């Protein structure tokens, strides 16, 4: 008979559950709604994956990040568990096929973004499935007071009405008591079982280091060490700059960010995962869903935007339970920088209304028009046309995307379409006399159907890989084929596409989201101030501060954070001074050996010997032939 423990042993190769996991699993097996709050690395995914494997039907997992879904699905597949994800870039037919597989292919997990659940036809398809449970990952996104609010999360409750009664589980690694209440309310959890483990990580030292030479300190933390380390920077460009500087200074480092191709990301990730490279410099999304337990240090070169973010990101170190550190390097300009980075770039009602109207004008949308219309979009051109600040405009477009006004991916991509412009026989005749282009043309025919009938979208990265041609050389060959009238080539480089989801009605379109804009601004301002307060507070243990922020009261200081270490050093210095005075006082009376001095003074032998060595080195005292300490005259 299968049991939670037998599945844990079989699929995860663990002999026992971590704190809270079995209680969460049993709660779902008993049919209860369940709220799980566990720190990063606490094993939240097991809490829904094991009961889903024990129950008949498929588990729907709602997750906000494609990378996180991909990692989870990949891990399940390596265990031989059937799982599928539905992400962007797939046609309706492709999605329909995947949903058919879920209905009839004995799949156990279907991963969806919250936005997918807003599509009625997908919900209708979900109704036809035998759903065992619903798991909502990163559940703090449901709360406007959460650090990553996502309005689509508040509409997940549509599944309550659409599906037969089943258990809902909400999971998050970081939520204040206020956010916990919002999650339970926002997801309509029915008298949920609450599983909350301690926020305290006894092996993880949180450290704030004040310096005007961040690269110097970073180098001292990394040089000559073989520890696995993540260095977080603010943006893509800085990941490359910092990695280059480290390599020049003798520390081998990789950079990682969203602008890399999938192939390059996988290559770099594997080098780091397999210990071929120890240091990876990345933007903060890196590490989410990645199962690497032996990270010894997570180092932030810029202030995180919130305590929640710092707690999650620092928590990616020391998952094996061994000593680890989460460090923030701070210089005098960082406080203003984080305000400029996150607060000054937040959308206001005025800036949002202005940018939206300019966007509609840019695409020449009339009043009442736009629903369902798709436009290729040059982001930089748009900003220059209306003299809009790029960073703030990007945040506005992401806001309009989250609020369901439009779809904006923000991913740089290249659209290329190709059609063969000669007959079938004409193409083969050409290939016989132009052997240098024959491989490319044959590969195109194998990869894509309908090239003789219509312009067909092609992927240059895939084509480059299949032909082993560098992309630049590939493009030149295609341009030459176009010049010789063998193909028609439609090349268009674009930042992204904008899809309008509702008609343009200006103020009426945006009026329903004004409350969200105000509350998100106020929440972000409060979070940034809490982060600044955290780094400035050098009087209380950092672990105690973090736990208090999340509503937990730690009775003891951690002993390993920057505040505890400084206090320990200060105490040791103070004790050392007292020992010095008392040693000099008793040696004024007569010479004594260290053993006798130890019996007269109530201090640790190690501390006492250290003081005696210091006094000898300073020539305050000396040692005679009988190993007795005496005062210098």
Q: Which pLDDT score is estimated for 144?
A: 61
Question: Quick check: 412 pLDDT over 50?
Answer: no
Query: For 85-94, 136-145, 479-488, 538-547, which range has the lowest pLDDT when averaged over its residues?
Result: 85-94
Of the residues 332, 365, 384, which one is the last residue of a structural domain? 332
- Over residues 480-509, the pLDDT tens digits come to 898 888 998 876 555 478 888 889 988 888
* Domain that residue 295 falls in: 204-332
Q: Say if 389 falls within a structural domain.
A: no
User: Taking a C-beta distance cutoff of 8 angstroms, is the pair 217, 249 a contact?
Assistant: no
Q: Which pLDDT score is estimated for 335?
A: 82
Q: How far apart are CA 352 and CA 370, in angstroms?
A: 18
Q: Which pLDDT score is estimated for 240?
A: 92
Q: Say if 158 falls within a structural domain.
A: yes
Q: Say if 9 falls within a structural domain.
A: yes
- Mean pLDDT score across all residues of the chain: 87
Question: Quick check: 206 pLDDT over 50?
Answer: yes
Confidence tier at 633 by pLDDT (50, 70, 90): low
Could you list the beta-strand ranges (E) of 162-311: 167-172, 193-196, 204-210, 228-232, 253-256, 279-282, 295-300
Q: How far apart are CA 421 and CA 330, in angstroms?
A: 61
Q: Which pLDDT score is estimated for 311?
A: 93
- Over residues 305-321, the pLDDT tens digits come to 889 989 989 999 998 88
Q: Which pLDDT score is estimated for 203?
A: 94
Same domain as 32, residue 93: yes
Q: Which percentage of the chain shows pLDDT scores above 70?
A: 96
Q: Say if 510 falls within a structural domain.
A: no
Question: Quick one: tokens of 343?
Answer: 């607060």
- Over residues 60-91, the pLDDT tens digits come to 999 887 777 888 898 899 999 999 998 765 67
pTM of the model: 0.69
Q: Which pLDDT score is estimated for 166?
A: 93
Residue 333 Cα distances to 283, 340, 397, angstroms: 20, 11, 29
Q: Say if 219 falls within a structural domain.
A: yes
Counting the structural domains of the chain, the total is 4
Across the range 253-279, mean pLDDT stands at 88
Of the residues 141, 169, 196, which one is the last residue of a structural domain? 196
How many degrees, rounded to 5, is the angle at CA 290 between CA 142 and CA 217? 100
Same domain as 208, residue 192: no
Q: Which pLDDT score is estimated for 337?
A: 79
Q: Say if 344 falls within a structural domain.
A: no
Across the range 10-36, mean pLDDT stands at 94
- Over residues 105-137, the pLDDT tens digits come to 889 999 998 888 888 888 899 999 999 999 999
Q: Which pLDDT score is estimated for 537?
A: 94
- Over residues 322-353, the pLDDT tens digits come to 999 999 999 988 888 777 777 778 889 999 99
Q: Which percentage of the chain shows pLDDT scores above 90?
A: 40
Q: Say if 577 falls within a structural domain.
A: yes
Across the range 370-394, mean pLDDT stands at 87
Q: How far apart are CA 346 and CA 354, in angstroms?
A: 14
Same domain as 98, residue 116: yes
Task: Name the 3-class secondary structure at 450.
Answer: coil
Same domain as 105, residue 28: yes
Question: Quick check: 147 pLDDT over 70?
Answer: no
- Over residues 593-625, the pLDDT tens digits come to 888 888 888 877 777 888 888 888 888 888 887
Same domain as 13, residue 154: yes
Q: Which pLDDT score is estimated for 104?
A: 87
């Amino acid at each position: 008979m299968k049991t939670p423990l037998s599945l844990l042993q079989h699929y995860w190769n663990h002999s026992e559950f971590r704190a809270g996991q079995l209680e969460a699993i049993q709660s779902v097996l008993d049919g209860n709604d369940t709220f799980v709050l566990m720190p990063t690395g606490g094993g939240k995914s097991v809490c829904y994956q094991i009961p889903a494997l024990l129950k008949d039907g498929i588990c729907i997992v709602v997750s906000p990040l494609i990378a996180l879904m991909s990692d989870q699905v990949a891990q399940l597949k390596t265990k031989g568990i059937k799982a599928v994800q539905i992400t962007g870039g797939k046609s309706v037919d492709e999605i329909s096929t995947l949903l058919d597989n879920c209905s009839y292919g004995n799949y156990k997990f279907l991963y969806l973004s919250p936005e997918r659940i807003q599509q009625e036809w997908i919900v209708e398809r979900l109704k036809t499935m035998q759903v065992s449970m619903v798991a909502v990952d990163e559940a703090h996104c449901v709360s406007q007071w959460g650090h990553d609010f996502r309005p689509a999360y508040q509409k997940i409750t549509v599944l309550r009405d659409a599906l037969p009664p089943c258990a809902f589980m909400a999971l998050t690694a970081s939520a204040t008591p206020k956010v916990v209440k919002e999650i339970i309310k926002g997801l309509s959890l029915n008298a949920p079982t609450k599983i909350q483990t301690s926020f305290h990580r006894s092996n993880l030292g949180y450290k704030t280091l004040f310096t005007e030479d961040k690269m110097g300190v970073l180098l001292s933390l990394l040089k000559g060490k073989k520890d696995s380390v993540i260095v977080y920077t603010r943006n893509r460009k800085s990941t490359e700059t910092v990695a280059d500087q480290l390599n020049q200074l003798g520390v081998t480092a990789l950079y990682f960010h969203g602008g890399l191709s999938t192939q390059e990301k996988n290559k770099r990730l594997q080098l780091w995962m397999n210990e071929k490279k120890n240091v990876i410099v990345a933007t903060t999304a890196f590490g989410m869903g990645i199962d690497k337990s032996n990270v010894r240090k997570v180092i932030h070169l810029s202030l995180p935007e919130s305590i929640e973010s710092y707690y999650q990101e620092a928590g990616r170190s020391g998952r094996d339970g061994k000593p680890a550190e989460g460090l923030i390097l701070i210089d005098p300009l960082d406080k203003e920088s984080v305000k400029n980075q996150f607060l000054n770039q937040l959308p206001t009602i005025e800036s949002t209304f202005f940018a939206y109207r300019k966007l509609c004008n840019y695409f020449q949308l009339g009043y009442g028009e736009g629903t369902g219309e798709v436009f290729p979009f040059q982001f930089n051109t748009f900003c220059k046309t209306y003299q809009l600040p790029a960073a703030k405009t990007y945040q506005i477009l992401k806001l309009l995307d989250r609020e369901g006004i439009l779809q904006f991916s923000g991913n740089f991509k290249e659209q290329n379409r190709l059609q063969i412009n000669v007959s079938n026989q004409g193409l083969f005749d050409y290939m016989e006399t132009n052997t240098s282009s024959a491989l490319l043309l044959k590969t195109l025919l194998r990869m894509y159907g309908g090239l003789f009938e219509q312009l067909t979208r092609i992927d240059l990265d895939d084509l480059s890989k299949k032909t082993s041609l560098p992309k630049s050389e590939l493009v030149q060959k295609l341009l030459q084929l176009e010049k010789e009238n063998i193909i028609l080539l439609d090349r268009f480089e674009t930042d992204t596409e904008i899809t309008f989801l509702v008609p343009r009605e200006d103020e009426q379109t945006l009026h329903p989201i004004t409350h969200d804009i105000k509350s998100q601004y106020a929440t972000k301002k409060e979070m940034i101030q809490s982060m600044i307060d955290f780094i400035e507070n050098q009087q209380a243990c950092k672990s105690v501060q973090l736990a208090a922020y999340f509503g937990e009261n730690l009775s003891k200081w951690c002993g390993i954070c920057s505040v505890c270490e400084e206090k320990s050093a200060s105490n040791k210095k103070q004790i050392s001074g007292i020992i010095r005075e008392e040693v000099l006082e008793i040696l004024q009376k007569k010479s004594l050996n260290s053993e006798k001095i130890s019996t007269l003074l109530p201090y640790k032998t190690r501390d006492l010997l250290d003081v005696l060595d210091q006094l000898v080195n300073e020539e305050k005292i000396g040692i005679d032939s009988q190993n007795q300490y005496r005062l210098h005259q």
